[in-house]
Amino acid sequence: MRIVSGIQPTGNLHLGNYLGAIRNWVAMQDEWTAKGATCLYFLADLHAISMPHVPAELAANTREMVAALVSCGIDPDRSILFNQAQVPQHAELQWLLNGTARMGWLNRMTQWKDKAGKNREGASVALFTYPVLQAADVLLYQATHVPVGEDQKQHLELARDVAQKFNNDFASEDKPVFTLPDPIIPPQAARIMSLRDGNSKMSKSDPSDMSRINLTDDADTIMQKVKKAKTDPEPLPAEIEGLAGRPEANNLVGIYAVMAGVTPADVLRDFAGKGFGAFKPALGELLVEKLSPMAARYRTLREDRAALDAILAKGGEKARALALPTLNAAYDALGLVRS
Ligand code: TYM
- Same structural domain, 22 and 127: yes
* Within-domain flag for 195: no
Q: Which residue's CA lies nearest to atom 7 of ligand 1?
A: 17
In the annotation, is 274 catalytic?
no
Distance between CA atoms of residues 203 and 55, nearest Å: 21
- Same structural domain, 87 and 182: yes
Q: What is the largest CA-CA distance in the chain?
A: 73
Domain count, the chain: 2
Catalytic residue among 113, 175, 201, 314: 201
CATH number at residue 259: 1.10.240.10
> What is the b/e burial string over 109-132, where b = at least 16 CB atoms within 10 angstroms of the residue's CB?
bebbeebbeeeeeeeeebbbbbbb
- Same structural domain, 290 and 320: no
- Same structural domain, 264 and 310: no
* Within-domain flag for 267: yes
**Distance from Cα 264 to the centre of ligand 1, integer Å:** 24
Q: 140 in ligand 1 pocket by Cβ < 6 Å?
A: no
- Same structural domain, 310 and 295: no
Tell me the residue type at 147. Answer: P
In the annotation, is 318 catalytic?
no
Query: Residue 339's pLDDT is what?
Result: 79
- Same structural domain, 37 and 159: yes
- Same structural domain, 169 and 31: yes
* Within-domain flag for 290: yes
Distance between CA atoms of residues 327 and 263, nearest Å: 43
Catalytic residue among 35, 113, 115, 165: 115
- Same structural domain, 169 and 273: no
* Within-domain flag for 328: yes
- DSSP for 99-129, written as a single string: TTS-HHHHHT-HHHHHHHTT-GGGS-HHHHH
User: Are the CB atoms for 27 and 49 separated by under 8 Å?
Assistant: no
Domain residue limits at 259: 217-301
Q: Along the 339 residues of the chain, how does pLDDT read in single tens digits?
A: 999 999 999 988 999 999 999 999 999 999 999 999 999 999 999 999 999 999 999 999 999 999 999 999 999 999 999 999 999 999 999 999 999 999 999 999 999 999 999 999 999 999 999 999 999 999 999 999 999 999 999 999 999 999 999 999 999 999 999 999 999 999 888 999 999 999 999 999 999 999 999 999 999 999 999 999 999 999 999 999 999 999 999 999 999 999 999 999 999 999 999 999 999 999 999 999 999 999 999 999 999 999 999 999 999 999 999 999 999 999 999 999 997
* Within-domain flag for 312: yes
Mutational pocket test of ligand 1: of 2, 12, 17, the residue with most ligand atoms within 8 Å of the beta carbon: 17
- Same structural domain, 277 and 226: yes
- DSSP for 134-178, written as a single string: HHHHHHTTT-SEEE--GGGHHHHHHHHHHHHHHHHHHS-TTS-SS
* Within-domain flag for 210: no
- Same structural domain, 252 and 150: no
- Same structural domain, 136 and 252: no
Q: Which residue's CA lies nearest to atom 31 of ligand 1?
A: 134
User: Are the CB atoms for 303 and 71 separated by under 8 Å?
Assistant: no
User: Are the CB atoms for 200 and 165 separated by under 8 Å?
Assistant: no
The helix/strand/coil state of 338 is: coil
Mutational pocket test of ligand 1: of 138, 152, 162, the residue with most ligand atoms within 8 Å of the beta carbon: 152
In the annotation, is 228 catalytic?
no
Beta bridge partners of 312: none
- Same structural domain, 156 and 263: no
CATH number at residue 175: 3.40.50.620
* Within-domain flag for 223: yes
- Least Cα distance to 85 among 122, 55, 109, 127 occurs for 55
